[in-house]
Chains A and B, each alone.
Chain A
Amino acid sequence: MHTPVYAAIGYLFLLLIVRSLKRRPGAQMTPFEFVLIFLVGGVIILATAGNDRSMTNCWGGVIVICLMHRLTGQLKQRSRKLGAIIDGTPVLLLSKGQWQTRDMKAMHIDDADVMAAAREKGLKTLDQIKYAVLERNGGISIIKKSE
């Protein structure tokens, strides 16, 4: 009986927690983020399903979570502001040879993270980067300097 309500509250709570984490787990998945995702997921499921591990109860929880996800997606699409609250906004990390140090510190990103993303683009040194942006999904986009 409680599962649908707990699932909805759990969804919103996890959304807030994950969004409040500086570096969003997603594109740049390290063991550090794996620990977080598995442990948080494992703990929240205990509170959601409780002692009732029946198929009826668990399916109810899954459906509510999917409905919440769909509803959130629709609301995001209607309001850009809500989209920014839920997903965040891209953050500029490097612009024309200048590190954006305040934002990097705020997002817990360092030059090694940017270089890791640059290597994926085939770049060998940081000075080949024109812009680096921390995307909403946690990945870092690199725009290289033109030759």
Chain B
Amino acid sequence: MATTSAPSQTKPVEDSIAKVNNEFAVGSDPEFQFRWERFESIVWAILIIFVLLSVAGVFGRGPAAKSRLQASDGSLQVEYERVQRFGAPSLVRITFPASSVQNGSLQLWVSESLIKALGAQRVIPQPAESKIDNQGILYTFPVTTGSGLVEFSTEPLSIGSSQIAFGVPGKANVQAKVFVLP
């Protein structure tokens, strides 16, 4: 019975490796090495800049990422991180003056992007009521006295830019732009 085998492929050995002192085939390339070292310096400079910007919070979770917005009529103030990271926890803090409290309760409307894009996980304090309203959610919080503070813990679910809006019904809204990094 005839057997078949793969055809052998060969080629003659050539002097293809660069030599040192015309005797030692090392294959070094000093010119390439010099250019690579310059490239390496650029890479490290970029990496160091990246770390410094990261520590400063330019890429989220630092002083440069924090932002504060106030409604034009002073009905609420929003503190948030304008740069967030995908899947990383963050906080949106909303404070209200006593004038925003009506009949012992505080109403807060938030756009649905807070849930869709920023993945709101939890709201503190627990609202007495929450209902779907005008492409968003309307929360009602009971208030005993004075001003109020509401916190949303978020965990962004999508990468890119998104806009969130907050407002007390009948008063000015606050629009916050958030960019989520991968």
Chain B residues near A131 (CB, 8 Å)?
20, 24, 26
Is A40 among interface residues, defined by CB-CB distance under 8 A?
no
Q: Select A89's contact among B20, B29, B86, B87, beta carbons within 8 Å.
A: B29
Does A89 contact B44, Cβ atoms closer than 8 Å? no
Is A91 among interface residues, defined by CB-CB distance under 8 A?
yes
Is A88 among interface residues, defined by CB-CB distance under 8 A?
yes
Does B29 contact A92, Cβ atoms closer than 8 Å? no
Assess A92 versus B20: contact at CB under 8 Å? Given A51-B87, A133-B26, A133-B28.
yes
Chain B residues near A143 (CB, 8 Å)?
24
Assess A90 versus B27: contact at CB under 8 Å? Given A16-B43, A20-B43.
yes
Contact with B along A1-33 (1 / 0, CB 8 A): 010001000000000110010100000000000
Assess A84 versus B44: contact at CB under 8 Å? Given A131-B20, A143-B24.
no
The stretch of B33-41, B91-99, B138-146 in contact with A is B33-41
Smallest CB-CB separation from A84: which chain B residue? B32
Chain A residues near B44 (CB, 8 Å)?
20
Measured between C-beta atoms, what is the minimum distance from B72 to chain A in Å? 39
Q: Select A95's contact among B21, B27, B47, beta carbons within 8 Å.
A: B21
Does B24 contact A84, Cβ atoms closer than 8 Å? no
Smallest CB-CB separation from A136: which chain B residue? B27
Measured between C-beta atoms, what is the minimum distance from B139 to chain A in Å? 27
Report the Cα distance A84→B28, complex, angstroms.
10
Chain B residues near A89 (CB, 8 Å)?
27-29, 32-33
Report the Cα distance A96→B87, complex, angstroms.
58
Smallest CB-CB separation from B25: which chain A residue? A90
Chain B residues near A92 (CB, 8 Å)?
20, 26, 28
Report the Cα distance A84→B44, complex, angstroms.
19
Assess A84 versus B29: contact at CB under 8 Å? Given A50-B87, A96-B21, A131-B20.
yes
CB pairs A–B below 8 angstroms (20 shown): A2-B86, A20-B40, A20-B43, A20-B44, A22-B40, A50-B87, A84-B29, A84-B32, A88-B36, A89-B27, A89-B29, A89-B33, A92-B28, A95-B21, A103-B30, A103-B33, A106-B33, A106-B37, A131-B24, A133-B26
Q: What 16 new A-B contacts, CB under 8 Å, besides A17-B47, A92-B20?
A: A2-B86, A16-B43, A22-B40, A88-B33, A89-B29, A89-B33, A90-B26, A90-B27, A90-B28, A92-B26, A92-B28, A95-B21, A103-B30, A106-B33, A106-B37, A131-B20
